[in-house]
């Protein structure tokens, strides 16, 4: 149906990536697109227009600065679940309000946007330019 309506190509994400966490979904999708050699832009949705903060979150989660790791270990040692410990650690490390952080971390599109940005940073694909449009991000690779 997509091809009949003008889409140039449809690529199916392999099952092993499609059913895993957002990180592996993003990693599989970006690796697949990158290997085609024909993709120059990537657009994906997000719940709110906060590209700088999404990039900051992706950077912290990728690099895990020592202060962040200390906070995370402290929260985990208190018996918090990993998602809650990570959220509280990010909140403290980035000095961000809980409600603002929750809006970012609980939106399914934001979660995937953060993971796309993490993979792009890890693979040094960030020679690309990131732009934010309303509730979508466009990345020129």
**Which residues constitute the domain of residue 97?**
52-136
**Residue 69 lies inside a defined structural domain of this protein:** yes
- pLDDT of 36 > 90? The answer is no
pLDDT at 95 over 80: yes
Query: What is the reported pLDDT for 131?
Result: 57
Please name which of 1, 44, 15, 31 lies closest in space to residue 132, comparing C-alpha atoms. Answer: 44
For residue 47, being part of any structural domain is answered with no
Collapsed DSSP state (helix, strand, coil) of residue 125:
coil
First to last CA, the chain: 28
81 by DSSP, 3-state: which?
coil
Percent of the chain with pLDDT over 90: 44
Domain count, the chain: 1
9 within some domain: no
Within a domain: residue 44? no
Is 122 within the bounds of a domain? yes
Q: Which helix (H) or strand (E) holds 84?
A: helix 82-94
Q: What pLDDT is recorded for position 139?
A: 58
For the record, the structure tokens of 132 come out as: 């934010």
Q: Please compute the mean of the pLDDT values over residues 60-68 and round it to a whole number.
A: 96
The structure's pTM equals: 0.82
Residue 46 lies in a domain: no
In a domain, 80, yes or no: yes
Is 124 domain-assigned? Answer: yes
Of 58, 34, 64, 33, the residue nearest 46 (C-alpha)? 58
Decide which of 126 and 98 is more confident: 98
């Amino acid at each position: 149906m997509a091809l009949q309506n003008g889409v140039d190509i449809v690529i199916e994400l392999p099952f092993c990536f499609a059913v895993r966490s957002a990180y592996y979904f993003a990693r599989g999708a970006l690796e697949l697109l990158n290997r085609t050699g024909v993709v120059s832009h990537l657009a994906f949705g997000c719940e709110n227009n906060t590209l700088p903060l999404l990039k900051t979150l992706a950077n912290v989660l990728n690099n895990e600065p020592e202060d962040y790791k200390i906070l995370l270990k402290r929260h985990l040692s208190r018996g918090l679940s990993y998602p809650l410990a990570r959220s509280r650690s990010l909140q403290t490390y980035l000095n961000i309000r809980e409600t603002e952080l929750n809006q970012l971390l609980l939106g399914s599109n934001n979660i995937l946007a953060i993971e796309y940005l993490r993979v792009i940073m890890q693979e040094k694909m960030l020679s690309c330019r990131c732009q934010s449009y309303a509730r979508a991000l466009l990345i020129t690779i």
